């Protein structure tokens, strides 16, 4: 079941949510970079420290990808395409956008993409 075009109030709320998430992730990325950088010194540490550093690096890469998705969603808000599925062009349901405000696709198209 397709959604409806977001109202101006919806867009304002989603933009605020996207900006808040972006702020949180930016802080996380800064912290993770510090952790990764602190492990790149001459002292290699033990296996546990190397594991933690590798884990931090994976989180950093994931967070940076999510930041880009958030920035792309903010751009879609500004250009008027926010809330439209990138595959079928139907309006994405608001409950999906509330859960994943940077969603590019409706749930049906996303499921199809993940199944491929």
Overall residue count recorded for the chain in this entry: 116
Please report whether residue 26 resides in a domain. Answer: yes
Domain count, the chain: 1
Please report whether residue 1 resides in a domain. Answer: no
Report the C-alpha gap between 93 and 40 in whole angstroms: 45
Please report whether residue 55 resides in a domain. Answer: yes
Q: What rounded mean pLDDT belongs to the chain?
A: 83
Report the C-alpha gap between 105 and 111 in whole angstroms: 9
pLDDT attached to residue 102? 95
- The SS3 call for residue 38 is helix
Please report whether residue 86 resides in a domain. Answer: yes
Please report whether residue 3 resides in a domain. Answer: no
pTM more than 0.85: no
Domain that holds residue 30: 8-115
pLDDT attached to residue 41? 52
Q: What is the 3-state secondary structure (H, E, C) of 54-86?
A: HHHHHHHHHHHHHHHHHHHHHHHHHHCCCCECC
Please report whether residue 16 resides in a domain. Answer: yes
Please report whether residue 71 resides in a domain. Answer: yes
Please report whether residue 2 resides in a domain. Answer: no
Q: pLDDT digit string (tens) for 45-98? A: 566 666 655 665 566 667 778 889 999 999 999 999 999 999 999 999 999 999
Q: What's the CATH number where 110 sits? A: 1.20.120.910
């Amino acid at each position: 079941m397709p959604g409806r075009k977001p109202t101006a109030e919806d867009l304002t709320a989603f933009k605020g949510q996207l900006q808040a998430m972006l702020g949180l992730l930016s802080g996380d990325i800064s912290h993770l970079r510090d952790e990764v950088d602190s492990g790149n010194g001459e002292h290699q540490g033990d296996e546990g420290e190397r594991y933690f550093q590798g884990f931090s690096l994976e989180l950093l890469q994931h967070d940076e990808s999510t930041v880009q998705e958030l920035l792309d969603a903010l751009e879609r808000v500004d250009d008027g395409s926010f809330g439209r599925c990138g595959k079928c062009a139907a309006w994405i349901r608001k409950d999906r956008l509330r859960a994943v405000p940077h969603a590019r696709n409706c749930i049906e198209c996303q499921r199809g993409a993940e199944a491929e």
